[in-house]
Amino acid sequence: MASIFLPFFSAYLMLLLPLVVAQSSAGDIRVGRSIEATRDAKPWISPSSDFALGFHQMENDKDLFLLAIWYYKIPARTIVWYASGTKPAPRRSKAELTADRGLVLSDPRGQLIWRSEFATGDVAFARMNDTGNFVVYGGGSERLWESFENPTDTLLPTQVIQRGDKLSSRHKESNFSKGKFQFQLSEDGNVLLNTNNIVSEFFYFAYYNSGTGDQANKTNSGYQVRLDEDGSFYVLRGNNQRQSFISGDGVHYEDYYHKVTLNFDGVLTLSSYPKNPISSNGNWDVRTTIPDNICITGFNQFGSGTCGYNSICTLKPNKRPQCKCPRGYSLSDPNDEHGDCRADFMQGCEADPQSYHQGLYDLDELQNTDWPTYDQEVISPCSADACKAYCLQDCLCSVAIFNNGKDCVKKTLPLPYGRQDRQVNPIAFVKVRKAEFAHRNPPDISTVCEKRDRNSLTVLISVLLGSSMFVNFILVGVLCMASSFLYHKRVTRNHSNKNGIQSSLCFFNYKELEDATNGFDTELGRGSFGIVYKGVIKSDSRDPFEVAVKKLDRVVQDTDKEFRTEVSVIAQTHHRNLVKLLGYCDEGRYRMLVYEYMSNGTLASFLFGDPKPSWNQRTQIAVGIARGLCYLHEECSPQIIHCDIKPQNILLNDYHEARISDFGLSKLLGVDQSFTNTAIRGTKGYVAPEWFKTVPVTVKVDVYSFGVLLLEIICCRRNVEMDVSDEERVILTDWTCDCFSEGTVDALVENDAEALTEKMKLERFVMVALWCIQEDVSLRPTMKKVLLMLEEMIMVAPPPLPCPSYMLA
C-alpha cells in the first residue's frame, strides 16, 4: 500500500521544496538586485519587517538621498546606520549587490560613491537580518562584510563594540556627515566619550570615562560593550563581570526595541520603544543619558564642548543641552544653535578710541555662570564691585568671573565650555557696549529732510516778526503760500515725484551734495554709470554722518529711464546685506544717488590686498552675499536680477559684513514673468554663458557670477591671473575643476593654515561654487539652495564632471 502512495508523496515533496527554500531565504538579496534612489523606491526588508535597508530622502533637499537602515515598523523613521554621510546620493543613484565588490552605491552616471569594503571573496548573496544587521555573504555563508562591524552613530541589540571600535556622531540632526563626538572602547579597556578634530581626527581629552580599565590586572579590563535584547547596556570585563551603565527600573524590556545613539550634541542616550503600537506614544523613551549633565561634565584646553565658543550651555528637562548667546552676542551661523557666538559690537584696545572712564560699556551679570578655561588674570582677594571695575578698565577683558566670593578672573575671547547651572557657583560679568556707543545703524535721513523744511519755515517766520505791521500784513500771504509749498513738497517726497520715483527718500539739490562732498574732491571708486564720492551730511538735530554719493556722469540714451529704475528698485529693498539708499538728486542734467557709507571699501580691495583676510572672514562674507542675492531673487516684488555680481560691487561695513551695491544693471521681472531677453550685461569673467546664446536670461545669471566670485573668495585671488608660474592656474574655474577631480582641493588654499584645518567646509564651498558655474542653466541651483548648502542646512552632492568651460567675454 505504501508503495502506491510513494510516488505521490515524492511529487508532493518536490512541489513543497521551493516554498520551503523561499521561506528560509526571506530577506535574502540576490547578486544583481538593486534599488534606485527615488521617493517611492521599495527597500530591502528583514523577514520580520523590523528593519529595512533603502534610500532615505533628505529633509532639506529632496534631490539627495541617504543609503540607510531604519526601523521599518516605527512610523517616525529612525535611522540606525547609513553609508557615505558626507556624500549623499543624487536622485536616480543606484545601490546594487555585485558579485565582486558587494554592495555598491553609484551616482546616475555610474561613478562610485560608496561600497562595502572587504578583503577577498566572491559574493553569493546578502541578507537584511531581523537584528538590523545587513550582511554580505560569500560561498559557504562566509561573512564578507556586515553593518554591525561598521557602525555609524547607533548601537543595536546583539551588536558588540570591541576594543578600538567607536561610534561617531552626526554633524547635525539632519546632517549625516561625521560630527565632533566619539564613543569608543579604548585599548586599555575604558569606555570614553571624546570630542575630536573632525579634519585630523585627533582625540581631545575625554569628557566621560567608565573607569573599566585595570592597570594592575589588565585581564580584568573591559573588552566589550554590549546592548542585549532585554535592554541591558554594560561593559563586559575580562573576568566576565558586567559593569552596567544603567540600573534596573523594574520594567520588562523584552517587548521593546532598544538602541544606543551618540547624538550630534555629544550626549549618549539609551532609548526604548514598545513593539506594541497601542502602548506607544510615538516617541522613543530615554532611559539614561551619558553623561548625566554634559554642560558641567569635563572640559580641556582643546575644542569648545557641546556648545560653540562664547556660548552658554544649559540643560533641558530631557538632559539634552541647549545653547544660547549672552546678551549683546549672536550666532555666527544663525542656523546652527550649537555654533559659535560673536559680539554684536566692536571691542578691544584698538576699537575703543575713547577712555573707559567715559562709560563705553555695561556689565551684564549672569548668576551661576562660568567659562572655566582660558584665564587671562586672577585677582585675589577681590570684591564684586572691584572685579567689575577691573574688567571695565582693561581693554582686553571681555568677561570677568567672580568666584567663591573672593577671586576675580579676567578672560578674553574666544571662550569655550560656557555653562549655566545650579551646580555652578561663580557669577559672570559679561562686557557689553552701551546702546549709545554701539554700532550705528544707517542714518534716518528723513529727519534731516524734515528738519531742513522746518528751518526754511522758521527763517520766514523770523522775518515776519522782525518787520513792521504793514510789511507783516503783506507777508502773511507769502507765509500761507510758503506753508502750502512746503506741505506739498513733503507730500511729494513721501509719495512720488515728477519722474515716478516712489519712496520716502530724501531729495537733495545739486548745491547740497556739492557742499557735502566738498566739491566732489574725495573719490571712492568708479561704478558702471559714474563716480562715487565721499560726503558728509550735516544736521542740527544729530551728529554729521558720512555718505557715499554716486554721481551719474554719463548722459546717454535711456539714462533717465535707468536712473528712475535704479532709484525705484533700491528704495523698495531692505536687507542687511544690501547697501541702503538714503536719498537722490534729480536736478536738470545732474543725477546722483546718496548711499550709506561703507567704511571698509570694496571686497576687491579687501580680498586681493595685503594682508589677506582670514578664512573665517571670507566664509562669512560669502554667506552674506548669498543671503543678499537670495533676498533679491526670492523676496523682492518685483524680482530683481543684479546682472553684475563681482568683488567691486560688494562693499564692507565696519565689521567687514558684506553689502551688495550698484543696482544700475538690475533688471526687473514682473510677477507673471520668469525670464527676460535683453542685451548682454555684466563684467568680463563673471558673465554667464547664456548671455551669448539665444536663450532666456534668468536669475541664474547671478548664480553663475556668484559661483565665480565664491571661488575668488575661497582662493583669495582673481578669476584670471596671467602672471602665475603654472599655466594650469591662469583660469581659476578651470584650475578648481582640475583640483576637485583629482582630489587636491587643498592646493587652492595651500598657504592658508586656517582653511586647511576646515577641509570639509572647504570642499563644501568648492562644490557649491562648481554647481553654480555649470553651463547647463537647469543644473545650477537657485540662490536659496546655494545659501542652504553654504550654511550646511542641506547636503552638497558632488558636481557633474567634466567642469564647464570658462567664458572670458
Distance CA 178, CA 327 (A): 31
pTM for the whole structure = 0.63
- Sign of CA pseudo-dihedral 784, 785, 789, 793: positive
Domains (range + CATH), the chain: 26-150 (2.90.10.10), 159-292 (2.90.10.10), 312-436 (no CATH), 445-596 (3.30.200.20), 603-790 (1.10.510.10)
pLDDT of res. 427: 96
Average pLDDT, the chain: 82
Residues 6+ apart with CB under 8 A from 136: 97, 102, 103, 116, 118, 123, 126, 143, 144, 145, 146
- Under the banding of pLDDT at 50, 70 and 90, the label for residue 711 is very high
Angle at 55 between CA 50 and CA 58, to 5 degrees: 115
Tens digit of each residue's pLDDT (9 = 90 or more) over 621-633: 999 999 999 989 8
pLDDT > 60? residue 675: no
Cβ proximity of 125 and 137 under 8 Å: yes
Please say if 644 is a catalytic residue. yes
Lowest mean pLDDT among 56-60, 183-187, 351-355, 578-582: 351-355
Distance CA 105, CA 598 (A): 50
Distance CA 586, CA 604 (A): 30
Average pLDDT over residues 241-265: 83
**Full 3-state SS string of 162-197:** ECCCEEEEEEECCEEEEEEEEEEECCCCCEEEEEEC
Closest CA to 293 of 190, 193, 410: 193
| 213: helix, strand or coil | coil
pLDDT of res. 21: 34
Closest CA to 425 of 451, 449, 404: 404
- Sign of CA pseudo-dihedral 604, 608, 609, 613: positive
Q: Which helix (H) or strand (E) holds 565?
A: helix 559-571
Residue with cell 531565504: 25
Average pLDDT over residues 242-253: 72
Cβ proximity of 98 and 84 under 8 Å: no
Lowest mean pLDDT among 433-437, 526-530, 634-638, 671-675: 671-675
Burial 18-48 (b: 16+ CB within 10 A, else e): eeeeeeeeebbbebeeebbbeeeeebbbbbe
Alpha helices in 356-444 (DSSP H): 384-393
pLDDT > 80? residue 142: yes
The one catalytic residue among 340, 370, 644, 662:
644
pLDDT > 70? residue 449: no
If 0-12 CB within 10 Å is exposed, 13-18 middle and 19+ buried, where does residue 653 land? middle
Average pLDDT over residues 732-758: 91
pLDDT of res. 276: 81
Tens digit of each residue's pLDDT (9 = 90 or more) over 190-244: 999 998 877 667 778 889 999 998 877 778 899 999 999 989 999 999 888 899 9
Tens digit of each residue's pLDDT (9 = 90 or more) over 74-86: 988 999 999 988 8
Average pLDDT over residues 154-179: 93
Other beta carbons less than 10 A from residue 183's beta carbon: 25
Amino acid at 462: S
Distance CA 261, CA 270 (A): 7
Average pLDDT over residues 250-270: 88
pLDDT of res. 670: 40
Closest CA to 401 of 423, 421, 425: 425
The answer to whether the annotation marks 259 as part of a ligand binding site is no
Distance CA 306, CA 370 (A): 15
- Under the banding of pLDDT at 50, 70 and 90, the label for residue 151 is very high
